Amino acid sequence: MLPRVINYLPPDITHDISHAIIRAGIAGVLRIGMDYPAEVFGIRFRNPLGLGAGIDKDGLLINGLARSGVGFVTIGSVTLKPRRGNPRPRIVKYPGLKAMVNAMGLPSRGFADFITRLGKVVDLASRFGVRVIVSLAGFSLEEFLVMLSRLRGFGIDAVEVNISSPTYRGSWLNDINRLGDLLRAIEGFDKPLFIKVPLGAGVDFYRWITEAAERYGYGLTIANTLPIKEPRISVGYGGLSGYPIYPLVRALIRKVRTWGFGGPIIGIGGVFHGWQVAELLKSGANLVGVVTAFAFEGPIVFTRLLREFYAYLSQ
């Protein structure tokens, strides 16, 4: 297990240390001899818990992640061209609140590099029964289309379309026509698509995107981080993640279900305990993602969450 003291060191440094440990496969996990299968878009997940986008942006950590007991891993967000992301500091942790703000700025080695190891990522994941979701980030419709066309033929299980990172500064969210063009243009991709929605948007936006997802047969990933100001981050703003956003995420999932959305939902935001996994599933999610708890605890977090989740179910 990564020592807890790591959360009190400068976050940009601990981020790098954690990556090195996971990549080397040093962070071991305990095996749990139980499954709780979920079926999404006709695909069987051995359990509904998985890693959300942002931890393994380039598909470099699969060695450790495949062994972590999860039902799925989300790789990315990957961008078409290589990006350095924002200058450091770009992460601030609030350990007492189980929260953090990040403005990574969508750093990526770029799609051409990513695709060279995607086959290996899929092979390794499938050996351990882990489903692979690829998260794409694009700054234009064309960028998304190029990446989607090059993903064909790889044995990935789904694609998540990230239109909601604070890094976009609202460029997808403030122009419904442009976003509508994107959602229409990606229809017909040969694998299930999830649209990742933001936190903090207006009810009209959520209604609109829910209807669009229903119409095109897409799933929804609810939700990305909540954009806020943070002067300690180099660019002065970032996305809040972790425990404080959990009630917002749960409420949004419930709302979308009361509107009659029938497609799959990945619920993600502030999950730190097994009961939250159960609660999000009860609220209407089909799968549950985790990022900030992973950033605080490392891959062992999945063993703990699954244990707690199974214990909760058998109460």
Contact positions vs ligand FMN (CB under 6 A): 52-54, 57, 76-77, 91, 100, 102, 104, 106, 135, 162, 165, 196, 224-225, 241-242, 245, 268-271, 290-293, 295
Q: Compare residues 121 and 153 and give the one whose CB is closer to ligand FMN.
A: 121
Neighbouring CB atoms inside 10 A of 44's CB total 12
The least CB distance from residue 2 to ligand FMN, in Å, is 15
Would you say 233 or 245 has its CB closer to ligand FMN? 245
The minimum distance between CB 91 and ligand FMN, in angstroms, equals 6
Report residue 253 as tokens: 């999932």
CB of 104 to ligand FMN, least distance (A): 5
> 75 vs 130, which CB is nearer to ligand FMN?
75
Least Å distance, CB 164 to ligand FMN, is 7
**Residue with nearest beta carbon to ligand FMN:** 54
DSSP string of 189-210, one letter each residue: -SS-EEEEEPSS--HHHHHHHH
Which CB atom, from 59 or from 76, has the smaller least distance to ligand FMN?
76
C-beta of 47: minimal distance to ligand FMN in Å? 17
Closer to ligand FMN by Cβ: residue 146 or 248: 248
Minimum distance from CB of 305 to ligand FMN (Å)? 11
Q: Would you say 8 or 123 has its CB closer to ligand FMN?
A: 8
